[in-house]
Amino acid sequence: MDHLPIFLDVKAKKIIIDGGGTPAARRAERALTAGANVFVFCPNLSPEFDKLLSHPSLTYFPRAPEQADFDGCIVAYGATENDARDEALHRMAKQAGVLVNIADVTKYCDFITPSVVDRSPLIVAVSSGGNAPIIARILRARIEVMLPAAYGRLTKFVGGFRDAVMDKLTSTDQRRHFWENTIEGQVGDFFLAGDAEAAGKRLLEDLNIAATAADTPQMGEVYLVGAGPGDPDLLTFKALRLMQRADVVLYDRLVSDEIMTLVRRDAERVNVGKMPQQHTMVQEDITQLMVSLAKQGKRVLRLKGGDPFIFGRGGEELEELAKHDIPFQVIPGITAASGCASYAGIPLTHRDHAQSCVLITAHGKDGVLDLDWPTLINPSQTVVVYMGLSSLGTLSEQFVKHGLNPATPAAVIDNGTRSNQQVVTGTIGDIHDKVLDSGIKGPALIIIGSVVSLRDDLKWFTESDKAHHQMTLHAQDTL
Site for ligand SAH in 383-402 (CB under 6 A): 386-387
CA neighbor of 362 nearest in space, from 306, 444, 286 = 444
Residue among 158, 255, 286, 336 that touches ligand SAH (CB under 6 A):
336
> How many Å apart are CA 19 and CA 78, to the nearest integer?
6
Cβ proximity of 44 and 62 under 8 Å = yes
> How many Å apart are CA 181 and CA 264, to the nearest integer?
16
Active site residue 252: yes
Q: How far is the CB of 310 from ligand SAH (least distance, A)?
A: 4
Beta-strand pair 221-226/268-271: unpaired
Residue among 443, 448, 450, 460 that touches ligand SAH (CB under 6 A):
443
Closer to ligand SAH by Cβ: residue 139 or 392: 392
Q: How far is the CB of 392 from ligand SAH (least distance, A)?
A: 11
Tell me whether residue 341 is exposed, middle or buried, using C-beta atoms within 10 angstroms of its C-beta: 0 to 12, 13 to 18, 19 or more. buried
Beta-strand pair 444-448/409-414: antiparallel
Cβ proximity of 252 and 312 under 8 Å = no
416 binds ligand SAH (CB under 6 A): yes
Closer to ligand SAH by Cβ: residue 76 or 395: 395
The piece of 108-116, 154-162, 183-191, 415-423 that touches ligand SAH (CB under 6 A) is 415-423
The piece of 121-129, 167-175, 295-303, 307-315 that touches ligand SAH (CB under 6 A) is 307-315
The piece of 25-33, 52-60, 334-342, 423-431 that touches ligand SAH (CB under 6 A) is 334-342
Select which of 238, 274, 323, 401 is catalytic: 274
- The amino acid at residue 171 is S
Q: Which residue is nearest to ligand SAH (CB)?
A: 306
Residue among 70, 151, 251, 311 that touches ligand SAH (CB under 6 A):
311
Select which of 252, 298, 307, 414 is catalytic: 252
E strands, 229-331, where?
Answer: 248-251, 268-271, 299-304, 328-331
What are φ and ψ of residue 310, in 5° steps? -115, 110
307 binds ligand SAH (CB under 6 A): yes
CA-to-CA separations, 462 to 119, 251, 412, 442, in angstroms, rounded: 46, 33, 15, 20
448 binds ligand SAH (CB under 6 A): no
Active site residue 323: no
Query: Which residues are catalytically annotated?
Result: 252, 274
Residues near ligand SAH (CB under 6 A): 229-230, 254, 304-307, 310-312, 335-336, 340, 386-387, 413, 415-418, 443-445
